[in-house]
Structure 1
Amino acid sequence: MEQNEVFKKTEGGVDFRTVGWMRASVIFLKIIFATGVLSIPTAMYSLGAVGGSLSVVGWGLLTTYTAVIQGDYRNRHPSCHSIADMAGVLGGVVLREIVGVLFLIAYILCAGSGILGVSIALNALSTHAACTVWWSFIAFIVVSVTASVRKFHSIGWLTYVGFASIFAAVFIVVIAVTTRDRPAAAPQTGDYELGYYAIAHPTFISGITASATIFVSSSGTSAFLPVISEMRRPQDYRKALFTCMAFVQSTYLCFSLVVYRWCGQWVASPSIGSAGQTVKKVAYGIGLIGLIVSACLYLHVAAKYLFVRILRNTRHLQQDTVIHWGTWLGCTFGLGAISFILAEAIPIFNYLLALTGSICFAPIGIALPGFLWLSDFKHYRKGSVRQRVEFWSHWFLPLLGAFLCVGGTYGVVQLIIDAYADNQIGSAFSCADNSGST
């Protein structure tokens, strides 16, 4: 097992195998927590409280299970550093490259959503004191620099600070919205429609987009796999996973239901801006570090994948050489620049996340884990009755992944087209305020 690990335990070079399971659980937590807690309340309006709650719980259980499949498969095949390596074991070079491209696109888009979130925070804190493109560029530089720390263990302390930061910010907003007579974005005089529904009746487009938004809030489990390769004991993966997901899903459900109940259709996107200008500035001031760390982790995951692909099986992978550092910094700043461009091209937070979920995470987070399980347990097809039921039940995962990929992409693209037509989205690289502060 140890011989097949990507990173070897070494004393003569860079030792990447230093992450314990507790630190791994916090890294996992920070990878998926920020985007979900900021986007789910908006999706609740489309699905209603009951539908939204069922969607949060259902997607949470499903993504936890597919994360178990991925982690177990990786530990049975320890030479796999990423989901693309697993695809290579499953279907050869062609499938590996297809999944590798999807993986890169997914986390470049996630890093873009993080950069967008940081630019919104800076606009809110400064009351739009500068062009939004400049705030986004500053966010790109800060995120790329922090993502350039080479080891997950070394950025582990940032995840503690980042998680505490974003949790405190969201908690402040959750409390603040319950103290207002009416939502901050609603008309402050006269009658108004809250837009809170226990049962909603969305169109297919709004429903599938809301569902994709909730799905993506916990679907980034493929980012856990590179962390396993840097754990001291990869066998402790399940402990870190269950600790993370239990906290994340319960927090998602509680926070999003409270914000939706008090804000209804007037919830902001991201939801951290839902309690008025003063609270928004306080929350963004506290949560800014958390937003930066989230984008940093997404970019680090994408860059680490590309870095390992380029230098794998060479001495430069774990030696402090010019090629080692040049490749690493080229990966972080190069992918960071692409994330910055995409963030400016699709400047609506929820749409960027939903597009990521439908195009990328549906295939690699649902469909591919199903095929991985079917490959390793193909003998179940002719086993006992229970084994045969398990085998055929797992075909549901590829079918669900295909449906969400096609249907979700169609829905999100149509909403983006409508948003441009209705002038909800300005032109690409627009200087307009994206925080609603002016």
Structure 2
Amino acid sequence: MSLRAASIKNTSSDDEKAHPESGRGVVEPYYPDVEDPLEENEVFKKTHDGVDFRTVGWPRASVIFLKVIFATGVLSIPTAMYSLGAVGGALSVIGWGALNTYTAMVQGNFRNAHPGCHSIADMAAVLGGTVLRELVGALFLIAYILCAGSGILGVSIGLNALSTHAACTVWWSLIATVVIAATASVRKFHQIGWLTWAGFTSIFIAVFIVVVAVTTLDRPAAAPQTGDYELGYYVIAHPTFIAGITASATIFVSSAGTSAFLPVISEMRNPRDYNKALFVCMAIVNAAYLSFSLIVYKWCGQWVASPSLGSAGPTIKKVSYGIGLIGLIVSACLYLHVAAKYLFVRILRNSPHLQKNTAVHWITWLSCTCGLASISFILAEAIPIFNYLLALTGSICFAPLAIALPGFLWLYDHGSYRKGHLGQKLIYYAHCFLPLLGLFLCVGGTYGTVQLIINAYADKEIGSAFSCADNSGST
């Protein structure tokens, strides 16, 4: 290779390598002449014909991962802090964040060891065959339909806040659903990469504005503005089981959507770069969660809003929602896209229509996005409290997907550790604990969240389903 060619190769960005015929100066062949054995079982093939889905580099993958899990968590954790206290909340953020990072690494390593897997459901099939695949696939779909519903709810709250409830909330939710379905219908993760940059930047700035603004107030915006009041800030809190498990499930789910990373691996140019993207994403996310939530809780206590963008008063609420609206839309778009992509691949896998621009290809894809968006809209209107919707998602779906199943995946690939030396045996039995932890959070978290939802309906904290009432607290 000439010095000029080597220079071009070394200075090209990993995320900007293009098709060799595009004339962008990349000397390294995009489609190698020698077939990589690990590529043979990949769901999406590198191809000159039809739709090439394999175009995502690891820097872009890290931003997609960031946007998948950042928005909803940073908006809900400060409320959970009130139940757990500053110390308990901080330890919960750190503990769940570390565990979710590790189990995400387990999932990615398993997927790359079994490259025929496109989703967590395919990985479950390796463990337990068709029955387990169908069960896990259903949980995966339900999880991201609920997450998309929380995104629709968040966007409707933002539109209500910006307009001071100028229209029925159901109409705002419907508008949000249409926009989210349209953006999610873009077929490739690479093509929505610029949206993830814009979405992450917008929600980060919006939350940062709120964090700074709450420190300038004499008392929380939602607290009584005259007379004595109870802030509700506790270093160590003593919650009931129901309040504690629901708050813990809310913090857990804030970084538990790692099963959404797996379909992205199938669209990466080099799936073995997955861990780079994962570690960059989770380091940023958990640092932001811990710092932002502790500051908002310290200054707002029990008066923190849900979502937390409304915690600094009506003016800052409009500003933060105006800036963060793009981020809320992109989050819901990614949740819907992940769910639709799973269903799309499941229907057309091993079919020539999977990577061909045929009528069957487009009808199937648009049916998946629009159909799942409709279900998300219905669920968002049926459970119109942001935190409860997230906690329910974490308990029912992500506890099995992000804790229990990764434990079984590790045990499947490392069965020899059970008969190895002492250190390997300890590691083996430590992983046996993961399915038990997932079961506890699934049962306990679901019980606690459902009970709180029942109580909220009884106390009139939640209006009726498909209610036109303002959900942003602006009126």
Which residue, out of 453, 468, 474, partners 1:416? 453
Matched, 1:351 2:388: yes
Which residue, out of 260, 266, 272, partners 2:303? 266
Which position in structure 2 is the counterpart of 1:316?
Answer: 353
Which position in structure 2 is the counterpart of 1:250?
Answer: 287
Q: Distance in 2 between matches of 1:282 and 1:381?
A: 56
TM-fit CA distance, 1:213: 0.0
TM-fit CA distance, 1:379: 1.1
Query: Scaled by the length of structure 1, what TM-score is found?
Result: 1.00
Which position in structure 2 is the counterpart of 1:432?
Answer: 469
Q: Distance in 2 between matches of 1:364 and 1:255?
A: 27
Q: Distance in 2 between matches of 1:132 and 1:393?
A: 47
Matched, 1:286 2:323: yes
Which position in structure 1 is the counterpart of 2:408?
Answer: 371
Q: Distance in 2 between matches of 1:386 and 1:50?
A: 32
Measured against aligned partners, the alpha-carbon deviations of 1:325-367 in whole angstroms (never above 9, x if no partner) come to 0000000000000000000000000000000000000001100
Matched, 1:140 2:173: no
Q: Distance in 1 between matches of 2:123 and 2:276?
A: 22
Matched, 1:178 2:215: yes
Matched, 1:54 2:91: yes
Q: Which has the higher contact order (CA 8 A, sep 6+)?
A: 1
Amino acid at match of 2:327: G
Which residue, out of 172, 194, 213, partners 2:231? 194
Amino acid at match of 1:348: I
1:199-218 counterparts in 2 under 5 A? 199-218=236-255
Which position in structure 1 is the counterpart of 2:197?
Answer: 160
Q: Distance in 2 between matches of 1:379 and 1:254?
A: 41
Matched, 1:407 2:439: no
Q: Distance in 2 between matches of 1:239 and 1:324?
A: 32
Q: Distance in 2 between matches of 1:167 and 1:385?
A: 45
Matched, 1:388 2:422: no
Q: Distance in 2 between matches of 1:236 and 1:104?
A: 26
TM-fit CA distance, 1:386: 1.1
Say what the alpha-carbon RMSD is for the aligned residues: 0.3
1:225-236 counterparts in 2 under 5 A? 225-236=262-273
Which position in structure 1 is the counterpart of 2:40?
Answer: 3
Which position in structure 1 is the counterpart of 2:314?
Answer: 277
Q: Distance in 1 between matches of 2:370 and 2:302?
A: 38
Q: Distance in 2 between matches of 1:265 and 1:429?
A: 28
Q: Distance in 2 between matches of 1:258 and 1:250?
A: 13
Q: How many residues align?
A: 438
TM-fit CA distance, 1:383: 1.0
1:5-20 counterparts in 2 under 5 A? 5-20=42-57
- Listed as ranges, the gaps of 5+ residues in structure 1 are none
Which position in structure 2 is the counterpart of 1:307?
Answer: 344
Which position in structure 1 is the counterpart of 2:260?
Answer: 223
- Listed as ranges, the gaps of 5+ residues in structure 2 are 1-37
TM-fit CA distance, 1:384: 1.1
Which position in structure 1 is the counterpart of 2:107?
Answer: 70
Q: Distance in 2 between matches of 1:430 and 1:305?
A: 32
Amino acid at match of 1:92: G
Measured against aligned partners, the alpha-carbon deviations of 1:383-403 in whole angstroms (never above 9, x if no partner) come to 111111111110110000000
TM-fit CA distance, 1:120: 0.2
Amino acid at match of 2:386: F
Measured against aligned partners, the alpha-carbon deviations of 1:395-414 in whole angstroms (never above 9, x if no partner) come to 11000000000000000000
Q: Distance in 1 between matches of 2:181 and 2:441?
A: 31
Which position in structure 1 is the counterpart of 2:23?
Answer: none
Q: Distance in 2 between matches of 1:318 and 1:278?
A: 48
Q: Percent identity?
A: 81
Query: Scaled by the length of structure 2, what TM-score is found?
Result: 0.92
Q: Distance in 1 between matches of 2:411 and 2:298?
A: 42
Q: Distance in 2 between matches of 1:396 and 1:20?
A: 35
Runs of 4+ in structure 1 deviating by more than 4 angstroms, as ranges, are: none
Q: Distance in 2 between matches of 1:251 and 1:380?
A: 36
Q: Distance in 2 between matches of 1:342 and 1:276?
A: 29
Larger Rg: 2
TM-fit CA distance, 1:71: 0.1
Matched, 1:95 2:112: no
Q: Distance in 2 between matches of 1:68 and 1:129?
A: 46
Q: Distance in 1 between matches of 2:135 and 2:204?
A: 36
Measured against aligned partners, the alpha-carbon deviations of 1:86-131 in whole angstroms (never above 9, x if no partner) come to 0001100000000000000000000000000000000000000000
Q: Distance in 1 between matches of 2:89 and 2:427?
A: 28
